[in-house]
Amino acid sequence: MITKQKTNRWKYLTQGIILENPILILMIGLCPTLATSTNANNALGMGIAASFVLICSNIVISAIRKFVPDSVRIPIFIIVISTFVTTVDYIMQAYTPSLHKVLGVFIPLIVVNCIILGRAEAFAYKHNIIDSFLDGLGKALGFTLIIVLMGIIREYFSKGAIFGMIIGPKALISNPMLFMIFPPGGFLLIGIFKAIINKFILNKEVVE
Amino acid sequence: MVTNLLLIFIAAFIVNNILLMRYIGLCPFFGVSTSFSTAFGMSSAVLFVMLLSTWVTWILYHFVLIPLDLVFLRTAVFILVIAALVQFVEMFLKKNFKPLYSAMGIYLPLITTNCAILAVTFLVIDYKYSLLQSTIFSIGTALGFGLVIILFSAIRERLEFAPISRSFKGYPIAFIAASLVALAFLGFVGLFGLTL
């Protein structure tokens, strides 16, 4: 029984990273992924901000799930989430003002990020605090992983740098692929990511 | 004055198109752009709700939140007001305007979590627009949303019958098609001196 619970918990944590990756498999939370992954720094900032909100709201919603009447649960989820979003908004404004300025409207928009409301409804409302924390952490890691990966690729091709450090070949720096920093590059990249996932994960499951 | 409003409209409509240039509202974009009729229903519902919610939140922000010094509650208040407004509109249409309700009824609940609506209400405040400018901005944005989603639904309908390799079927090819459409829209940057 205890081992089963342990494997379950391990599954909650790891599932979010690849097999139930919110962006690539569930296809939710696309807006911030595409909009803020123009360089690795912004992507990491967005990833951490959304992760904080996701984990905190999962914990709180799981903690209050027994007092919340079924019929008004969605407005209550939204209030919990928007509390944490406002917190993140003001913390970032105070400590990382330049990042806050770049991310702009996307920080308050975390409140309508489908990943967070989706996990609150599908998981945290039905599971205990520890499981919800692990689930939130797993999904947050999956989200951050993909957004930072996209940030790194887009920054490398558009500036020849990663996290602001110039490492690309001279040819790339003198002729950067500016296309990648603009919206079309983001769409193209996520299309390719999704195709790779289809090739190696989804199709295999269908065959089995 | 008129030039200013026209520029706001064109910027919101094409140059800073909410879907392709700002990347806001992508979930319904890929979800409902599979056929012309759903795309049309969704975009008319967005136009309607976006205009209403921009008015309501603008008035609320300038006449309630600022005088009471409650600006930090902006996020929570706006999302709740929009959710309540959408519910109210749904009930009102169901009772009084049956044909309109049957045209966009099922899209209304989806709109509550559509980030495009919330984003516009935040943007008009961040840009310090007046009520008239906000109105123009939200109409332009909603029409831009409709333009792209309807154009894209035509592409998706063609993609259904195209011979595509198995891994690229469905979402991947839709993203790559969106990338090409976005590339076309990138050509509008610089129109009348408007930039991203």
Residue A207, pLDDT score? 42
The residue ranking higher by pLDDT, B22 or B52, is B52
To test the contact with chain A by mutation, choose from B27, B29, B65, B75 the residue with the greatest count of A C-beta atoms within 10 A, namely B75
For position B127, what pLDDT does the model report? Answer: 87
Cα–Cα distance, B184 to B2 (Å, whole number): 28
Q: How confident is the model at residue B106 (pLDDT cuts 50, 70, 90)?
A: low
Does a structural domain hold residue B6? no
Q: What is the arithmetic mean of pLDDT over A116-134?
A: 87
pLDDT of amino acid B70: 83
Higher pLDDT, B65 or A201: B65
Chain A within 8 Å of B195 (Cβ-Cβ)? Answer: no
Contacts of B186 in chain A (CB under 8 A): 182-184
Q: Give the chain B residue nearest A197 (alpha carbons).
A: B167
Residue B45 lies in a domain: yes
What pLDDT is attached to residue B54? 92
Handedness of CA B42, B47, B51, B57 (dihedral sign): positive
Min CA distance, B143 vs chain A (Å)? 19
pLDDT at A190 exceeding the cut of 60: yes
Is A17's pLDDT higher than 60? yes
Q: What's the rounded Cα separation, in Å, for the pair B74 and A86? A: 8
Question: Could you tell me if residue B9 is inside a domain?
Answer: no
pLDDT at residue A1 tops 60: no
CA distance B100 to B92: 11
Contact B118/A111, CB-based, under 8 Å? yes
Tokens representing B190 are 């610089």
Interface test with A, best of B46, B53, B117, B175 (most A CBs within 10 A): B175
Q: How confident is the model at residue A2 (pLDDT cuts 50, 70, 90)?
A: low
Q: For residue A55, what is the DSSP state?
A: H
Contact assignment for A183 to B167 by CB distance below 8 Å: no
The mean pLDDT of B131-151, rounded to a whole number, is 91
End-to-end Cα spacing for chain A: 29
Rounded average pLDDT over A33-39 = 85
- Average model confidence (pLDDT) across chain A: 84
Confidence of residue B87 (pLDDT cuts 50, 70, 90): confident
Question: Residue B71: which of B79, B60, B80 has the closest Cα?
Answer: B60
* pLDDT above 60: residue A85: yes
Give the count of Cβ contacts less than 8 A between chain A and B.
Answer: 121
- A 144-163 residues with CB < 8 A to B: none
Of B162 and B136, the structure prediction assigns the larger pLDDT to B136
For the stretch A51-65, pLDDT in tens is 999 999 999 999 998
If you average pLDDT over residues B55-67, what whole number do you get?
A: 90
Distance of residue A4 Cα from the nearest chain B Cα, in angstroms = 35
Partners of A198 on chain B (C-beta within 8 Å) are 166-170, 172
CA A74-A75-A80 angle, 5° bins: 95
Of A104, A187, A195, the CB nearest to B168: A195
Q: In this predicted structure, what is the pLDDT of residue B140?
A: 92
Give the rounded percent of residues in chain A with a pLDDT score beyond 70: 95
Instruction: Check pLDDT > 60 for residue B170.
Output: yes
> Does a structural domain hold residue B80?
yes
- pLDDT band of A208, cuts 50, 70, 90: very low
Chain segment A148-178, per-residue pLDDT in tens: 999 999 888 888 888 878 887 777 777 888 8
Contact across the interface for B166 and A203, Cβ inside 8 Å: yes
CB contact under 8 A, A82 and B76: yes
- Confidence class for position B7, pLDDT limits 50, 70, 90: confident
Task: Give the pLDDT confidence score for residue A87 in this predicted structure.
Answer: 92
Interface of B with A in 125-184 (CB under 8 A): 126, 166-176, 178-180, 182-183
Q: Which residue segment(s) compose the domain that B72 sits in?
A: 18-193
Most confidently predicted of A10-24, B11-25, B67-81, B124-138: B124-138
What is the pLDDT, as a whole number, of residue A4?
67
- What pLDDT shows up at residue A49? 92
For B164, which residue in chain A has the nearest alpha carbon?
Answer: A195
What total of structural domains would you count in chain B? 1
Interface test with B, best of A26, A31, A53, A79 (most B CBs within 10 A): A31
> Is A196 part of the contact surface with chain B (CB cutoff 8 Å)?
yes
A82 in contact with B at a CB cutoff of 8 Å?
Answer: yes
A27 pLDDT above the threshold of 50: yes
Is B70's Cβ below 8 Å from some Cβ in A? Answer: no
**Is residue B69 over pLDDT 90?**
no
**Distances B80 to A82, B11, B109, B181 between C-alpha atoms, Å:** 10, 28, 13, 34
Q: Which residues of A touch B83 (CB under 8 A)?
A: 74-75, 78
Output the six-digit token pair for A77: 């989820």
For residue B12, is it within any domain?
Answer: no
ipTM, two decimals, is: 0.81
Beta bridge partners of A162: A165
Question: What average pLDDT does range A31-48 have in this prediction?
Answer: 87
**Residue B104 scores a pLDDT above 70:** no
Residue B22 scores a pLDDT above 90: no
